[in-house]
A and B are shown apart, each in its own frame.
Chain A
């Protein structure tokens, strides 16, 4: 018998369920309990970068918006640097930007929004340039293990065309499922996205 390796096994995932708001966004469940709450607003007045709104829906296999879904985003700052000790890239850190937020979908419309900044292009540790993107994590009733995907930006065509992750996607038509569309609305920059859980336009999800 060789020596045992003795690794532990990851704890199994379970659905977040329909009442995920109680734990993660109690105000949406209908009550006020914590002094400090996490939210869908990632920016403070002193955060550096272009203010943007991310706005989207998650659709089930019939095209119906999920109205009990919870999304989290994780992104680099305007200089392309993550607020985390493992990121030792050259971009300037921004203490006014954690880079993380969470949002529940509206119980009627299913709309999800984040108020954030557009991240900068990222230089990976191998020196690769990666197009600006936002990492997305999706949980809900009926989702047994959180879904990972990314949002890229429609006005970054050249960077997107060279992005190593987008280029991993075999079918160019499926790359489009990760591109959020830029528009301007009442002076605000809005990037719109749709996550399709199933169907011919199913969003690309990653096994990270």
Chain B
């Protein structure tokens, strides 16, 4: 398993300048469905009754898909990206302290600025603070398990948390989720909306996870695995993992085509 291979260096360093002019606001690049899990993936049993069976209708992006909600710092609170402190009641949460950081990019390699990134996870014992989670591992009184951040001008984001634990779930009788953090990302247009999950380099549960292995493309799967990033760790405090997220690129309108006379 290759952890997210290009993640440790800035993807801009080895790349030509972006291929599209900065103000492109045409439609988004066609989504490559071959790197995404299919809707119907029988190994992940919940997908069977929840997957459309008709073909998706391909829709040339209109203004409805090119636009999307805009968020700002007013939407967030000061502790929103600090999961070690944002629910602490009488001390720090239990677990390995980690920093997760990276950039939200588009397919041209350009950073996606000022976009909302939301994340949620189980605690160090693999238990979610959710009224529907009944796993026997205990709730941590000092850990909520969610946060959010706005990327900066270069698409960079970071947050602090504890490493989540693996946990069992009902798929096969002995199915376990690898440790993971859920991510929700917006981008600039509603057609870029994405939910995914970040995994941790070296986790032996990764190759046997029925959800992760819905992804048909090995490279796409590897890109969900965050490498340990010692250079970004804080000595005597926290390890760091790096996770870059790529949203769809956007075409530019080079020439307006109008029928003669219009």
Is A208 part of the contact surface with B, judged by Cβ < 8 Å?
yes
Q: Which residues of B come within 8 Å of A, CB atoms?
A: 11, 15-16, 19, 25, 28-29, 31-33, 35-39, 41, 44, 46-54, 56-59, 61-70, 74-77, 80, 86-87, 105-109, 118-120, 128-133, 144-146, 148, 182, 184, 188-191, 193-197, 211-212, 214-215, 217, 219-221, 223-224, 245-249
CA distance A88 to B44 in the complex (A): 43
User: Among residues 1 to 56 in chain A, which have CB atoms less than 8 Å away from a CB atom of chain B?
Assistant: 5-24, 26, 29-31, 33-36, 38
Number of A-B contacts (CB under 8 A): 262
Name B's interface SS.
loop
Contact A202 B63 (CB under 8 A): no
Interface flags for A152-171 (1: CB within 8 Å of B; 0: not) read 00000000000001001100
CA distance A14 to B46 in the complex (A): 13
A98 CB contacts on chain B under 8 angstroms? 69-70
Q: Which of A110-118, A129-137, A183-191 forms part of the interface with chain B?
A: A129-137
Contact A23 B182 (CB under 8 A): yes
CA distance A5 to B184 in the complex (A): 28
Name A's interface SS.
loop
B119 CB contacts on chain A under 8 angstroms? 23
Most buried by B among A6, A22, A168: A22
Candidates B57, B63, B107, B184; contact of A10 at CB < 8 Å: B107
Contact B196 A208 (CB under 8 A): no
Q: How far is the CB of B62 from chain A (nearest CB, A)?
A: 5
Q: How far is the CB of A151 from chain B (nearest CB, A)?
A: 12
CA distance A33 to B148 in the complex (A): 11
In the complex formed, the residue of B with least CB distance to A206 is: B59
Contact B52 A125 (CB under 8 A): no
In the complex formed, the residue of B with least CB distance to A203 is: B52
A12 CB contacts on chain B under 8 angstroms? 35-37, 196, 215, 217, 220-221, 223-224
Contact B31 A10 (CB under 8 A): yes
